[in-house]
Structure 1
Amino acid sequence: MALGTESIWLRRYPTVTTPRLRLLCLPHAGGAAGFFHSWGNAFGEDVEVLAVRYPGRQERIAEDPWTALEDLADAIADELPPYLDTPLAVFGHSMGATLGYEITLRLAQRYHAAPALLMVSCRKAPHLLTPRTAAFGTDEELLAEVDKLGGTDSALLADADLRDLVLPALRADFRAVARYTARPGVPLPCPVVGYVGDRDPDVGPDEVAGWARTAPLGFELKVLPGDHFYLVGQRDALIADIRARLSR
């Protein structure tokens, strides 16, 4: 695919000038590319943002959602070569952090193109993961899990009409997360930064710090005020921190 050709997998926020760097953003379970819309032009005139569009939501609502993180990582990694003419950084939130890890490995193995930086948010490292039984429970159990985590998804699911629209993708994503069981962490070919909210009910700072085991080229942990969706309330602080890192 030539650069400039529309990709169904990527919502692109182009820069006016040739970008110095690209930032790939991977949403959480049940999330969509629109979650990162306010990030589109937030990192300066020379950083181009690419937000990933998962099947089964927004522009891809007519498609069946996928239920294997490995398949998603394969498809996304294979979509990125046209964008590798410039350094690439990766940010993934929750489920997106695991996808970012798998995509990073694929880019290095298949295309000899290690990202400049991997940023993982509110997610345990691969060797610390535990099964998520809510993926196979009733709708009520799944909704209770989402409500516990908070964020905009919880508010959307309070609307019965929207709930019916969102639930298939949400259930598919939770199933994908549950199927991705603990495995030895493969050392990554780039530095890693871990982000987490100090009141996250799902993962704590010590667990996010476990990513250090996969980061021989360097690891930093950043704890911000908030819960699993700290990046909504702390949007400006998080963007300022990422912007500073991308400027190094």
Structure 2
Amino acid sequence: MRNRWLLRFPPRPEARIRLLCLPGAGAAAAMYRSWGELLPSEVEVCAVQLPGRGARLREPLHTLMDPLADALAEVVLAEPGLPTVIFGHSLGSLIGFELAHRLRDSADHAPLALVAAAHRAPRLGSAALPYHRSTEEELAKVMTALGGTPAEVLARPELLRLALPSIRADFELDYTYRYQERPALSIPISVYGGLGDNSVGQGELDAWRSHTTGAFSLRMLPGNHFFPTGPSGPELLALLTADLLQHV
């Protein structure tokens, strides 16, 4: 079960730090496959494969945050201890935040830092976008408008039908999210946003600073909601590398 949740790109038994990566709505662990080749050998890229995608396509999808975060925390706690930084894109930022809270008191698995990209601060709650209630046709139009979905998927109805259930479930997961008041994290939080991202404003990104008593940084990069996989990808990885190596 652990191997279905966590995919190494590639396995690095001698790595000195783990970058635990969480994909955004409808995305799979494969969005981080190239990062393992681009980040230094001291870093093991460990991407989370959520149920309902990839080799887990037939597994039940999660539509509520607490059961998902609890299950993921159990998987991570079963891993060998290794200094870990959590990175999340979009919905993955929320999941990463909830995971960090569940791991914060672990002697061996408490994260060193949290990196959030392209999502408003948890305390602001859901973005209140009920896309999960849309028809297949409406949802396909939403995905086309947002960008980020491969053109070959949008162009092939049979592939789109396979992708839509996980996209719908992830939108419901975000829509039903309710922030629970609790003490702020003490680890550094770094936040990244796309200058052309119409789904989240800079003020909503800056609000992440209230979730930590530690260091906070906000960096805005060129690109839209999917800037981590666009032209700003190399710049993001360079900044991430510098931050990661500070912990090695």
| TM-score (norm. length: structure 1) | 0.91
Letter in 1 for 2:123: H
- 8 Å CA contact retained: 2:93, 2:119: yes
Query: Structure 1 residues 40-49 or 236-245, which shifts more?
Result: 40-49
> CA 1:111 to 1:159, structure 2 compared with 1: closer, same or farther past 3 Å?
farther
The answer for the alignment partner of 2:48 in structure 1 is 52
- 8 Å CA contact retained: 2:22, 2:29: yes
- Alpha-carbon separation, structure 2, partners of 1:45 and 1:110: 26
- 8 Å CA contact retained: 1:92, 1:121: yes
The answer for the alignment partner of 1:68 in structure 2 is 64
Aligned-pair RMSD on alpha carbons? Answer: 2.0
- Alpha-carbon separation, structure 1, partners of 2:108 and 2:123: 24
> CA 1:69 to 1:154, structure 2 compared with 1: closer, same or farther past 3 Å?
farther
Q: How much has 1:14 moved relative to structure 2?
A: 4.4
Secondary structure at the aligned position of 1:207 is classed as: helix
- Alpha-carbon separation, structure 2, partners of 1:155 and 1:210: 36
Letter in 2 for 1:77: A
Q: How much has 1:159 moved relative to structure 2?
A: 1.9
- Alpha-carbon separation, structure 2, partners of 1:14 and 1:38: 10
- Alpha-carbon separation, structure 1, partners of 2:135 and 2:195: 29
The answer for the alignment partner of 2:227 in structure 1 is 230
The answer for the alignment partner of 1:239 in structure 2 is 237
- 8 Å CA contact retained: 1:97, 1:121: yes
Q: How much has 1:52 moved relative to structure 2?
A: 0.4
- 8 Å CA contact retained: 1:114, 1:190: no
- Alpha-carbon separation, structure 1, partners of 2:75 and 2:116: 21
Query: Structure 1 residues 83-92 or 23-32, which shifts more?
Result: 83-92
**Quick one: which of 184, 188, 201 aligns to 2:185?**
188
Query: Structure 1 residues 6-15 or 33-42, which shifts more?
Result: 6-15
- 8 Å CA contact retained: 1:187, 1:215: yes
Letter in 1 for 2:116: V
Secondary structure at the aligned position of 2:161 is classed as: helix
Could you report, residue by residue, the CA deviation over 1:17-56 in whole angstroms, capped at 9, with x for unpaired residues? 5211000000001010111111123221111111001111
Alignment of 1:93-172 (within 5 A): 93-109=89-105, 113-129=109-125, 130-153=127-150, 156-172=153-169
Q: How much has 1:186 moved relative to structure 2?
A: 4.3
The answer for the alignment partner of 2:21 in structure 1 is 25
> CA 1:176 to 1:225, structure 2 compared with 1: closer, same or farther past 3 Å?
same
1:219 is aligned to 2:216: yes
The answer for the alignment partner of 2:88 in structure 1 is 92
- 8 Å CA contact retained: 1:121, 1:196: yes
| TM-score (norm. length: structure 2) | 0.91
- 8 Å CA contact retained: 2:184, 2:210: yes
Secondary structure at the aligned position of 2:88 is classed as: strand
Identity of aligned residues (%): 37
- Alpha-carbon separation, structure 2, partners of 1:230 and 1:155: 20
Query: Structure 1 residues 149-158 or 112-121, which shifts more?
Result: 149-158
- Alpha-carbon separation, structure 1, partners of 2:192 and 2:61: 27
Secondary structure at the aligned position of 1:180 is classed as: coil
> CA 1:73 to 1:205, structure 2 compared with 1: closer, same or farther past 3 Å?
same
- Alpha-carbon separation, structure 2, partners of 1:52 and 1:16: 16
Letter in 2 for 1:53: Q
- 8 Å CA contact retained: 2:21, 2:46: yes
Q: How much has 1:175 moved relative to structure 2?
A: 1.0
The answer for the alignment partner of 1:197 in structure 2 is 194
**Quick one: which of 153, 176, 179 aligns to 1:179?**
176
